[in-house]
Structure 1
């Protein structure tokens, strides 16, 4: 295993970052395209209410799957540092504990969500005519969520052991299957929201089964070994302290979605929730290369931090921020130039076509500065520093965006919601820059 990952400590940082970031970016791109195509199909073949229903339901599924994502990110941080210290046996034990935690917790949440479906949907903002399609969609996709949680757990682990191409396939295969099944179930078989949910649920299964195959195959040096499934509480504590950051972040995002949906419904009705659904999809798609750089940064920084190579950690931070900022600026320019064309992809509805482009432009105004915030919070997670990682991860959504979404619409109506996004981006970037600069001066000098 050390043979596979030792390159993190020797090869040129820019080369390593490209090797890690390009597959991660492609995987995120395809996953984002999948969600965009899914929204396009649902919007054009079912209707505007269907977009609003998916906007309400998916954050619930993602919150449950974020348990796996948190366990994956927290565990992979430990695995990267363990490999940097040449502690292969610890890496195996951490991975076994990750599997037990992910499957146990995700199934527990799925069963709870099934019994309390309606109150959960209403909590997340399903109001009026949205409730019926949201319920139909939710009842189907919820059973695919444990597979999604398992995939989200395994994906960062695959990157941590130096196999970014396989991590990319984890996202590509389910995306392709979902698009094909959408056409089959929605367009050809005319199954409506049930068909949309079934396509999504099966695609989650494809992703989870691919992760299982990888760790059972000869391609992985990190294996699924049952004796390591027994919980080691010291490892559990370390995974939870770091992985809990991702879960808490997703929890805060879920709270944000609840507040957003209620605020949008209050000031703009169902059409405003549909507008946000489109903006959210564009955000996921447009920012894929920046997120890919962040994903590529984590195993390189974690390995070198574990190996006590401060110079390479500093270089990794600098190179990642430079790459990410250049890409984010290009994305910003494209969105400013072509907002109408982007919105046209999603809907034929005249009201959506009229209102969404302006909202999209406002929401993306601070895009050029976001890389500093992403890399800054990722560094503290890679280094195993749970408290600053948690605080910085929650900056945008928790400390800034939620209060702004409450306050600004009182003065600016629905536009106040869209204005909240760039203001939160700028404020969180300033705070993160201060923390990161101080950390580099004190601990990486």
Structure 2
């Protein structure tokens, strides 16, 4: 058994968390920076119409990110469980299947995106210069769809073995490359929005090369075979089944944001919309450290579950859950103690009403409970409980829509804050309850064996 796998099976869970979580958190911060690179450079060096074109294209990028979530969740679960079970035959063609699926899905997105870029941006409301900039940007971005999908998904195979530090290093290299290339193409070579998209595409190509050389040169615990054309329908069905919950959550995220902001615009003024936008950004950014923790939790649960250490995989969820709540408390503390000063960073020279600050504090308090849901959700994915994970994802959307649409009808703008808070608390408690039930169900055969 590889030393890294041995550590996941036997090391103290708190020590394991500390070693794995730090690079995971840093990796999430790096990725969040990368999402701003093109917008910053285009807005500064091309102009507001070009920036508006990029913003308008954002919903189209959700297509690729949803496919990344689908493949990443499925492959990471299979990979980590096969490591724990010490099953090299199951690992052999994981990369080959990933290459095949990435080529099919990424190629389809690239062809459709490039061929219908102008129509898609027009459908989203682009006209005139905004339409031209948006279409030009998305045409080049779509051509690199295969490399984007493969690079982000192949990184999952590295993280699934616990090599989160190496995955972070490669992603940091890609981000720095994107910054340099985008600045060179946009500012130095005057290529405008096409230069920004080209820089992103080349950075994803480099990211692909770094990940693939790591996997193919035997630097991973996975027993991968040589590259060859490969497709396996039962394995694909398992991967898609597990990843469908992540796909659904990612795909509906944009719809959620549209409903939320349309409701705020309907019930509030322009100033209240700006305030909510600032609150939502702080709320979203504060969750990033927990996403880093979840990257470390997935292989910990998957490897132990694959090895039959069901009780240890459950204990890992409890440890990471407590760590997530504690980390979020530290991250949220400035917002809870000094809400006006935090929001002033995004809305300078603004006077905030007491009720607005109270609603901001309420959402930041609710944020502390999100690890109750997220750790359980990762547990279901990592252990291959596809149907349960998908049901919970779909159930959240069923809960979300009536809360956001109905409560504001009675309470006005504050109802949106209360609706979001109620949805998050309810979902966290439901997932916690289902997770506890799943733990007890998994414990029964273990306890029976011990009693025998």
Taking structure 1 as the reference length, the TM-score comes to: 0.84
CA shift at 1:172, angstroms?
A: 1.3
What is the correspondence of 1:52-63 to structure 2 with a 5 Å cutoff? 53-63=53-63
Q: Is the 8 A contact 1:118 1:135 kept in 2?
A: yes
Larger Rg: 2
390 and 276 in structure 1: CA distance in 2 versus 1, 3 angstrom threshold: farther
422 and 182 in structure 1: CA distance in 2 versus 1, 3 angstrom threshold: farther
Q: Is the 8 A contact 1:66 1:247 kept in 2?
A: yes
Q: Is the 8 A contact 1:65 1:106 kept in 2?
A: no
What is the correspondence of 1:271-282 to structure 2 with a 5 Å cutoff? 282=282
Structure 1 regions of 5+ residues with no counterpart?
Answer: none
Q: 1:86-117 CA deviation, whole Å, 9 max, x = no partner?
A: 11111122332122112211111221223333
Q: Is the 8 A contact 2:42 2:51 kept in 1?
A: yes
Q: 1:239-266 CA deviation, whole Å, 9 max, x = no partner?
A: 1111222222222224334545655666
Other-structure match for 1:438: 437
Other-structure match for 1:381: 381
CA shift at 1:374, angstroms?
A: 0.4
SS of alignment partner, residue 366 of structure 1 = helix
SS of alignment partner, residue 86 of structure 1 = coil
> Is the aligned partner of 1:68 residue 2:68?
yes
Aligned-partner Cα distance in 2 for 1:268–1:127: 27
Taking structure 2 as the reference length, the TM-score comes to: 0.83
Other-structure match for 1:302: 302
Q: Is the 8 A contact 1:215 1:224 kept in 2?
A: no
RMSD: 3.6
> Is the aligned partner of 1:249 residue 2:214?
no
Aligned-partner Cα distance in 1 for 2:66–2:423: 22
Other-structure match for 2:162: 162
Q: Is the 8 A contact 1:60 1:254 kept in 2?
A: no
Q: Is the 8 A contact 2:38 2:197 kept in 1?
A: no
CA shift at 1:431, angstroms?
A: 1.0
What is the correspondence of 1:340-351 to structure 2 with a 5 Å cutoff? none
Other-structure match for 1:77: 77
What is the correspondence of 1:280-291 to structure 2 with a 5 Å cutoff? 282-283=282-283, 285-291=285-291
Other-structure match for 2:94: 94
Aligned-partner Cα distance in 1 for 2:270–2:206: 33
Aligned-partner Cα distance in 2 for 1:443–1:287: 30
SS of alignment partner, residue 248 of structure 1 = helix
Q: 1:366-418 CA deviation, whole Å, 9 max, x = no partner?
A: 2111111100111111111111111223454x233344443455556666555
Aligned-partner Cα distance in 1 for 2:345–2:193: 20
Q: Is the 8 A contact 1:373 1:433 kept in 2?
A: yes
> Is the aligned partner of 1:423 residue 2:422?
yes
CA shift at 1:162, angstroms?
A: 2.9
CA shift at 1:424, angstroms?
A: 2.4
> Is the aligned partner of 1:26 residue 2:38?
no
**Which stretch of structure 1 is more off in the superposition, 100-109 or 250-259?**
250-259
Q: Is the 8 A contact 2:366 2:425 kept in 1?
A: yes
SS of alignment partner, residue 219 of structure 2 = coil
Aligned-partner Cα distance in 1 for 2:277–2:204: 21
Aligned-partner Cα distance in 2 for 1:122–1:419: 35
Q: Is the 8 A contact 2:178 2:203 kept in 1?
A: yes
Q: Is the 8 A contact 2:14 2:319 kept in 1?
A: yes
Other-structure match for 1:178: 178
CA shift at 1:319, angstroms?
A: 0.4
**Which stretch of structure 1 is more off in the superposition, 236-245 or 328-337?**
328-337
What is the correspondence of 1:12-51 to structure 2 with a 5 Å cutoff? 12-36=12-36, 39-42=39-42
366 and 42 in structure 1: CA distance in 2 versus 1, 3 angstrom threshold: farther
What is the correspondence of 1:93-132 to structure 2 with a 5 Å cutoff? 93-121=93-121, 131-132=131-132
Aligned-partner Cα distance in 1 for 2:52–2:264: 11
Q: 1:31-72 CA deviation, whole Å, 9 max, x = no partner?
A: 113334555555555666666544442342242243233212
Other-structure match for 2:450: none
Other-structure match for 1:226: 227
